[in-house]
Amino acid sequence: MYRWLSIVMCGFIFFCVSGKTSSADEKSYSQAAAELAELTFKKSDYHDNAIRYELTVTRGRYENNPATKPYSFVLINVAMQVMEMYISDPETPAKVKNLLAQLYMREFTEGELREIVNFYRSKTGQKVLLKLPVLIQKQGELVGQLPLPPKYDQMIIDKIIVLQKEGKLPREFK
């Protein structure tokens, strides 16, 4: 589901010791990033993630606007149809992979990219790529099942009382 987004979780900016890189070094670096983008990009995952994101944004745009709310169902369907066409456009995967490669270059050194590529080419790495979306989804479900401890419930109540006193929430709000 979030395979290509979840692979990059920490930030690292590439600095060259000399302050300059040769075009051969830069080409090698961008090739490593492109390889990683190719390995991690899955069109079906991109499709699902892009549709989910666009649906959320589009709903917010049309359902929260009194002028468009009565027509939101029709407008949302139109936006989703256009999004499907964009995702199906043969140029879109290449554009997404290019953006991923740029992201990877901002986050990892060339050496790190090569290590990651080698890992994802291994049997274990392939297994990680296959299971990662499910693991992330299950992690979210499990974390979402954790009950909020009573002290945090009380914090919410206390903050609501303060907002009521400030006039930001009505007194009858419970």
124-154: pLDDT as tens digits: 999 998 898 888 888 888 888 888 888 988 9
27-63: pLDDT as tens digits: 899 999 999 999 988 888 888 888 888 888 889 999 9
pLDDT over 60 (residue 12): no
pLDDT over 90 (residue 169): no
Q: Tokens 């991109």 sit at which residue?
A: 46
Question: pTM for the whole thing?
Answer: 0.61
Domain ranges of the chain: 3-121
Contact present, 133 and 45 (Cβ < 8 Å) = yes
Cite the DSSP H helix spans in the chain.
Answer: 3-6, 23-40, 43-63, 72-88, 91-107, 110-121, 123-144, 150-165
